[in-house]
Amino acid sequence: MVKIHFIIHEVFEGPGAFNNWAITRGCEVSCTRIYNNEKLPQSIDTLDLLVVLGGPQCPTTKKTECSYFDSQSEIAFIKKCINTGKAVLGVCLGAQLIGEALGAPFEKSPNPEIGVFPIVKTEEGKQNEKFSHFPEEVTVGHWHNDMPGLTDNSKIIAFSDGCPRQIVEYSELVYGFQCHLEFNNESIESIISNSTEELKSLEGNKHIQNPKQLMAHDYQEMNNLLFIFLDKLTCQYMKNIKNELKTKHY
């Protein structure tokens, strides 16, 4: 049984389709609700997969700006999980925090993106088995202004017209998704209802869709792509654990 832990920054930006995957795979789920001032786990011994979700904050947001968001604590926790061989996936803000944990500062995206737009696999992406089920171009969800930083060893798996870093591989167990494959109709409705001012301020931008367009989309294809990726990621993790046990045994 895979033990998955979510870091949730806002009540309106939850796990979405990640929950469906966790339920169908029989995962043991726990979470830290940052917006409720919940503390990060003291022990990661029983954690297999860490998923750090998005939010309106950025890695440099100070506690004076958002009292419940402590980026440095999260970065330290993410780094601990990475260093102990856990599978780690960051979405949007979560992807940027992973980059920070690895010494790669986030950057502003060339364009803000809100909506459902295509991402395209790079040559690295085409050669990566964990993304072999992805079409060369596929439409996914977006809601961001920033993008994750790159380490010397990271690989860009996919990009979009508005952002050159949509999916980043930091290692075989650590990935950053600037895009949102977890969006579904319920989660996107929740974000829209809490983002009225943001959407109004960005009206007319090339990479910004309106709520009607967002609500009309069928998110099932991108959800299925996410599920298969998660299957592959957790399979890799379990394989690594078995190999470690064999090494210790001998």
pLDDT tens digits, 5-54: 999 999 999 999 999 999 999 999 999 999 999 999 999 998 999 999 99
Report how many domains make up the chain.
1
Q: What is the per-residue pLDDT across 217-250, written as a single tens digit (0 to 9) for each?
A: 999 999 999 999 999 999 999 999 888 777 765 5
* Domain interval for residue 17: 3-249
CATH number for the domain that contains residue 44: 3.40.50.880
Whole-prediction pTM: 0.96
Q: How far apart are CA 14 and CA 188, in angstroms?
A: 10
Q: What is the per-residue pLDDT across 177-203, written as a single tens digit (0 to 9) for each?
A: 999 999 999 999 999 999 999 999 999
CA distances, 62 to each of 108, 157, 202 (Å): 17, 31, 24
107-121/137-147 β-pairing: antiparallel
- Terminal CA-to-CA distance of the chain, rounded, Å? 25
